[in-house]
Amino acid sequence: GESVGLHLPTLSVQEGDNSIINCAYSNSASDYFIWYKQESGKGPQFIIDIRSNMDKRQGQRVTVLLNKTVKHLSLQIAATQPGDSAVYFCAEKSVLTGGGNKLTFGTGTQLKVEL
Amino acid sequence: NAGVTQTPKFQVLKTGQSMTLQCAQDMNHNSMYWYRQDPGMGLRLIYYSASEGTTDKGEVPNGYNVSRLNKREFSLRLESAAPSQTSVYFCASSDGVQPLAKNIQYFGAGTRLSVL
């Protein structure tokens, strides 16, 4: 079955450094991926998405890279700030039998920003 | 614009008690979802409603029922709570219905449920 996993459960970075969070997926037919950020005590918040016909997409301080050959997704955060401390989830889209779409989430990576 | 609103935020139940978690969205979204989040297991889909008037099971539906009351509201009911249902529950909504549509889901703040 499909699965979405993460290489590192916890990532610690110094403030101002760049962060890279990785994600592996197993369903080669997935055509859409999302990164979410979840702060303590809050619900997941959309950060950035990418379709499978793209290799790279940039947002404000964030970049998502997609390597379909090895089924790997990464989130890069530039100049990491204390407010970036959170759990980051990748998710892949698939079609539900009852109609609509669903997201399959990875287990998450805890990003800790050290001052 | 409130987005997705969940009530209550916290709840403690005794084994065997029942309760309903409420969820409402004001984004005119077609699809709504209920997830549970347990430590180290990410988010798992309990039930979903692709559009008003339809509901379907997700990955972990046992012990739960849902009602899509109207386009805005989607409730989750625990008929006889068990300790295994201790978790954080999230409601989400999205506008994507067609297979090629994006599925950006917007989440509520969650309900933290403890079953003793």
Residue A101 has pLDDT above 90, yes or no: no
Is the CB of residue A95 less than 8 Å away from at least one CB of chain B?
yes
Residues A90, A33 contacting (CB under 8 angstroms): yes
Size of interface A-B (CB pairs under 8 A): 75
- Closest Cα partner for A60 from A81, A78, A46, A84? A78
Residues of A whose CB is below 8 A from B23: none
Query: Distance between CA A51 and CA B9 in Å, rounded?
Result: 34
Q: Which two tokens stand for residue B45?
A: 């889909």
In A18-77, the residues whose Cβ lies within 8 Å of chain B are: 31-32, 34, 41-46, 49
Residue A6 has pLDDT above 60, yes or no: no
Query: Distance between CA A62 and CA A19 in Å, rounded?
Result: 9
Confidence at A98, pLDDT banded by 50, 70, 90 = low
| Higher pLDDT pick, B41 / B113 | B113
Nearest-CA distance from B16 to chain A in Å?
27
pLDDT of residue A100: 67
Residues of B whose CB is below 8 A from A31: 100
Residues of B whose CB is below 8 A from A45: 107
What percent of chain A stands above pLDDT 70? Answer: 89
Strands B19-25 and B74-78: antiparallel
8 Å CB contact of B48 and A108: no
Confidence at A90, pLDDT banded by 50, 70, 90 = very high
The residue-averaged pLDDT of A7-19 equals: 86
8 Å CB contact of A101 and B94: yes
8 Å CB contact of B50 and A45: no
Q: How far, CA to CA in Å, does A34 sit from each of A49, A100, B8, B52?
A: 4, 16, 28, 25
Query: Distance between CA A17 and CA A24 in Å, rounded?
Result: 23
pLDDT in tens, A32-60: 999 999 998 899 999 999 999 999 999 99
Which of A43, A49, A108 is the closest to B102 by Cβ? A49
Query: Distance between CA B63 and CA B87 in Å, rounded?
Result: 13
Residues of A whose CB is below 8 A from B107: 43-45
Across chain A, what does the average pLDDT equal?
88
Nearest-CA distance from A48 to chain B in Å?
9
Residues of B whose CB is below 8 A from A64: none
The residue-averaged pLDDT of A27-34 equals: 88
pLDDT of residue A102: 81
pLDDT of residue A106: 85
Q: What residue of B is the nearest CA neighbor of A32?
A: B102
